[in-house]
Structure 1
Amino acid sequence: MTERQQRILAIDDNAYTLRLVEFTLREAGFRPLTAISGEEALARIESDGLPDLAIVDLHMPGISGFEFAHRVHQYSDLPIIMLTAVNHEATIVEGLEEHAEDYVVKPFSPGELVARTKRVLRRIGEFDYDLQPRTRIDERLLIDFPNRTAIVEGKAEALTPTETKLLYILMRKAGHTVPTDYILRRLWPTEPVFEDRLHVHLHRLRRKIEDKKDKSRPRYIISERGAGYSFRDLSREELATDKDGQDG
């Protein structure tokens, strides 16, 4: 199986900067996508699916980089690096606390931008599922992140922003246990919350996507007692099953 090329969405209204970022990312082995505004970037996500990471300018015509981050974080936990000429401490603090994983000030070093991109991706984890506009999990479940919808056995189930973002967080680390405190920090980064709040959202999400005929055995979201939760990596399980069958 070939390694999936990670998709990085670069958003900047300056054509020269956008070409430089695109070239830098491609030379580093990423698959760059570009948009000249926040609106175009949101439309591209709806048509092409979510990228692995976004590099976003702050001041652009139309919606700002912070507003883009706010909108896309309504339904995902997309990691964002702000790339901007704004070097005010208050703006940097707001960006790092509320919107972005990192903040790079222009003019920038291409090598440093690549290093920071790789560091963020290592910390957040690679998304094993291919993030198409509708991300297929298996024969009975599709997730439409931008439209906050789960297609369960052909039937559309509306998801809340929190449920959609929770799915994204778990799916990004599919096959691995995601600690409860990590989930809480990613879902509600600016407010203190307790685990009971997470339980409520998990219960409602499971009611929408799990098999209602066998509630005692979740197919997708698995509780890891005392540790956290995991989303089953069904694609790798199927590959392992196929390999076992071939070996036998």
Structure 2
Amino acid sequence: MISLQSLRGSEGGMFSRFLSLFRRENHRHAETRPRQNEARLQSEFAQKASSQPSTGPVEEERMKHLENLKTALHKMQNERDELRRILAYYPRKNLNDRINFESEMLMMQHQQVMTDLQKMRQQINEGLWKSNQLRKQNQLYCLRYSLLRSESIRLKHNVKRAQNENRELLWEQIALEESIKETARFRVEASMKNHVTSSIRMSREENEPLNGSLPMERGDGGIADNLLASVEDSTVLQTDLWKTAAA
């Protein structure tokens, strides 16, 4: 907080400036006609300078200096208008009564400071409200993140379980294919055995009437040799079929 002495010191400087500007304004009113002539000459000079083309850096410097003078004059006119507005609020006051004037100026500054403090309090309250809103949003995002993380963990567990089930089904499929191949091999062997047995039975039935009349010699190609050859052929055929089924 600004101390009262510093405010009074600043207001004293402001009061002295106010008096100097007031005197300067009175002096300006006393010299109205020469100032008007000077302003007229400056305007004519500005018109001539604007109508004539610039011939060098000297002219440019003069134009810049003239623009600066115009800016300073405009600023002084604004200060004069502001002081006139201030004086309009104190038409019946005695400006020599410095204490009353400084107290009124201090009161105005105090009101301005209190207004600024009120605005600052409002800004602090708005900041606290926004902070609470952000904290609630952060909590909501944390909750959503926890739910999504739990869902992600559950999905990963389901994927792992599905992979294990897929692996088990693959092994079952391989075992089933092996069982099918083994069953096919057994069927081929059984069909070959039935074929050999039926062939032997049919050969015996065909050769039974000839056993009593024609004796079988050792060197002759009899039924036994034919049966042995058929058994060997069936064994070779069974082996080939088993290899084909295994492939």
Q: Answer 1 or 2: higher relative contact order, Cα 8 Å, separation at least 6.
A: 2
Same fold, TM exceeding 0.5? no
Which structure has greater strand proportion?
A: 1
TM-score grouping bracket, smaller chain normalisation: under 0.3
Which structure has greater helix proportion?
A: 2
TM-score, length of structure 2 as denominator length: 0.17
